[in-house]
Structure 1
């Protein structure tokens, strides 16, 4: 399962991939070493290799890297945590550091053409299209090279060559002007590959959690490596605490975003209490490109505002906005808004507030033959996870 690729924001068309295990750093939970291995015994590289599916190439090397990364990140090496990582890696890449993607070249060209005006402006976009078709030579144009690529790394390499050629041969001064307008590294902003590696990690996430100094190109090379792809993927998967009672919700979170399962449960409570129409997508606020919170009012926020106006809850609109801004962290569970809705739900329904439900997010994009949803993804990962846990009874 891979993610969408598009110019600058094509990766956003795929809901961001997410695992929902109830395992975080140091998570305990059920014991799965009940036969021959003590439940509290850490798993070593040799045992990890046995948990990697046979289709994985060089399981010993993968196991050694996984073992080292768990030690580096200080994540408990129990069966649940190891199998969480194994299941996601297998789902995303079948244990290939740089997996081939069917129809990658043609889908990438389509995405580029659709978004060039938006990203480069109406003046530069036509020249970029001309370069695609004619440079560096008509017989070996960038367009023809892209059409033949099999992996994201190949596409990434051609893209950077193409951008360097474009900026040197065409309108470098105008590109500099565009850079001033959009800010930051325009080459990085326009790169069509936004998720990559064996665990399909968002480049933006890796950038925020760099393990070494270097520029954006070096970071991408690291993500394409076996160790780097695993490091950032395991970091994203297991280094956030979530109070889930079922592993499948961490799988869902890997697909649709951290805490999406918890937030979807909050949205369900809001819907039942307010009767407002709310999508259970796990996003309590509206976000602009670059994950900046929008000033626009979301369905969830509007439902809360309506409940305030009707006297159903004693909160202020300002408090609600401040609390919802914490939706991507565990801190949201300690806010007045979260606690108030949970208490009101229990009082009105007689049922405990749900802590997680499956987010209703559609996965779509050029890498996929058809649309899927987060439940499909989480179920697929869960099958792999359960198979791994069964093998963990050493």
Structure 2
């Protein structure tokens, strides 16, 4: 009875699973519909990924769900038709596609007999929009041109997890996939599973959960990397964006990004040449960077300069940029909001 209609655990529930589900359900706010169903999906996600169903993990997942969707598997997005049409017009303008051609394409009949324009005017959720884009890309020549065969909806579900992340981490997905991993993300079970993987499925050097929540928004190890940037900035006097991006992707060795260039200015003190620095920075999306000579030596110099031990994790200074956001928000705002919910959950 604890299993919701969308949930089919890969193994029969036993006493341990029952206890975990009961604890999860107890920590979900009483206003939430189908608390038992949510608990079943969360417990299955933790068990399938061999993550302990302890209060810390449970509350971390619940806090992100509450922040990202308010316990809605497929949350509605305010003003989504206008946002979606704006994205189409932006892409058309960038490709010099006349507005008349766009309007003509949207007048074509969709699979349900309505025009694509009519369907676009009635989308309410990212799932609705994703399905519409898939059909436009597959059936309308203009769709291929505007979207280059790639669906613009790149996040979704109860935990607003990345579609690309889900597709790359679906090898142990415990449920039957009836259509695609993209579709699974928009189900409660899929959104919870892949969101849990993104949040908890990697080791960190953090001592505070708020930095993991910041990473959920800014990218894995962004908080550690931002602290490294802060240390480099202190040593070099170079103003650096504390965004967690240490290496510009595919940058030629003779055209480094700002952070890499600042680190290279410390080469004589570090005893590392530019290629050794590049190799170390290439580890910045993994735990190994924390144990690299570059990381250790930069902090040794920075700690000595400061006369104290500097933080090894800093919330990245990133302004959230999405057409769904109608006010100025930051990664710090997100991380602190989730952390507050996390602490409230632990007290329940």
**TM-score normalised to the size of structure 2?**
0.86
**1:226 Cα offset (Å):** 0.9
Q: Which residue of 1 aligns with 2:212?
A: 250
Give the 3-state SS of the residue equivalent to 2:190 in structure 1: helix
Alpha-carbon distance in structure 1 between the residues aligned to 2:18 and 2:180: 33
Q: Structure 1 residues 326 and 125, CA, compared in 2 at 3 Å: closer, same or farther? A: farther
**1:125 Cα offset (Å):** 7.0
Alpha-carbon distance in structure 2 between the residues aligned to 1:43 and 1:388: 17
Alpha-carbon distance in structure 1 between the residues aligned to 2:138 and 2:303: 59
**1:100 Cα offset (Å):** 0.5
* Counterpart pick for 1:375 among 332, 336, 344: 332
Alpha-carbon distance in structure 1 between the residues aligned to 2:178 and 2:160: 16
**1:223 Cα offset (Å):** 0.7
**1:217 Cα offset (Å):** 6.0
Give the 3-state SS of the residue equivalent to 1:161 in structure 2: helix
**1:349 Cα offset (Å):** 2.0
Q: Which residue of 2 aligns with 1:76?
A: 52
Q: Which residue of 2 aligns with 1:197?
A: 157
Give the 3-state SS of the residue equivalent to 1:75 in structure 2: coil
Q: Which residue of 2 aligns with 1:330?
A: 287
**1:215 Cα offset (Å):** 9.4
Q: Which residue of 2 aligns with 1:343?
A: 300
Q: Which residue of 2 aligns with 1:237?
A: 199
Q: Is the 8 A contact 1:42 1:78 kept in 2?
A: no
Q: Does 1:267 align with 2:229?
A: yes
Q: Which residue of 2 aligns with 1:11?
A: none
Q: Structure 1 residues 57 and 125, CA, compared in 2 at 3 Å: closer, same or farther? A: farther
**1:347 Cα offset (Å):** 2.2
* Counterpart pick for 2:133 among 150, 159, 173: 159
**1:128 Cα offset (Å):** 5.8
Give the 3-state SS of the residue equivalent to 1:279 in structure 2: coil
Q: What do the CA deviations read for 1:272-315 (whole angstroms, capped 9, x no partner)?
A: 0000110111111124xxxxx4335222101011222xx33211
Alpha-carbon distance in structure 2 between the residues aligned to 1:253 and 1:103: 28
* Counterpart pick for 2:257 among 292, 295, 298: 298
Alpha-carbon distance in structure 1 between the residues aligned to 2:160 and 2:104: 30
Q: Is the 8 A contact 2:22 2:39 kept in 1?
A: yes
**1:86 Cα offset (Å):** 0.4
Q: Which residue of 2 aligns with 1:136?
A: 109
**1:43 Cα offset (Å):** 5.6
Q: Which residue of 2 aligns with 1:23?
A: none
Q: Which residue of 1 aligns with 2:10?
A: none
Q: Is the 8 A contact 1:109 1:143 kept in 2?
A: no
Q: Structure 1 residues 87 and 215, CA, compared in 2 at 3 Å: closer, same or farther? A: closer
Give the 3-state SS of the residue equivalent to 1:363 in structure 2: coil
Aligned residues: 326
Question: After the TM superposition, which of the residue ranges 216-225 and 99-108 deviates more from structure 2?
Answer: 216-225
Alpha-carbon distance in structure 1 between the residues aligned to 2:236 and 2:42: 46
Structure number with greater CO (CA < 8 Å, separation at least 6) is 1
Alpha-carbon distance in structure 1 between the residues aligned to 2:199 and 2:29: 19
Q: Is the 8 A contact 1:87 1:388 kept in 2?
A: yes
| Structure 2: tracts of 5 or more residues without a match | 1-16
Alpha-carbon distance in structure 1 between the residues aligned to 2:251 and 2:58: 37
- The alignment yields a C-alpha RMSD, in angstroms, of 2.7
**1:389 Cα offset (Å):** 0.4
Alpha-carbon distance in structure 2 between the residues aligned to 1:134 and 1:93: 33
Alpha-carbon distance in structure 1 between the residues aligned to 2:163 and 2:227: 28
Q: Structure 1 residues 52 and 217, CA, compared in 2 at 3 Å: closer, same or farther? A: same
**TM-score normalised to the size of structure 1?**
0.77
Q: Structure 1 residues 214 and 62, CA, compared in 2 at 3 Å: closer, same or farther? A: closer
Q: Is the 8 A contact 2:89 2:99 kept in 1?
A: no
**1:370 Cα offset (Å):** 1.4
**1:59 Cα offset (Å):** 0.6
Q: Does 1:225 align with 2:187?
A: yes
Q: Does 1:55 align with 2:14?
A: no
Q: Which residue of 1 aligns with 2:238?
A: 276
Q: Is the 8 A contact 1:57 1:96 kept in 2?
A: no
Alpha-carbon distance in structure 1 between the residues aligned to 2:183 and 2:167: 12
Alpha-carbon distance in structure 2 between the residues aligned to 1:363 and 1:228: 25
Q: Is the 8 A contact 2:213 2:339 kept in 1?
A: yes
* Counterpart pick for 1:100 among 71, 76, 87: 76
Alpha-carbon distance in structure 2 between the residues aligned to 1:186 and 1:58: 40
Q: Is the 8 A contact 1:89 1:95 kept in 2?
A: yes
**1:245 Cα offset (Å):** 1.3
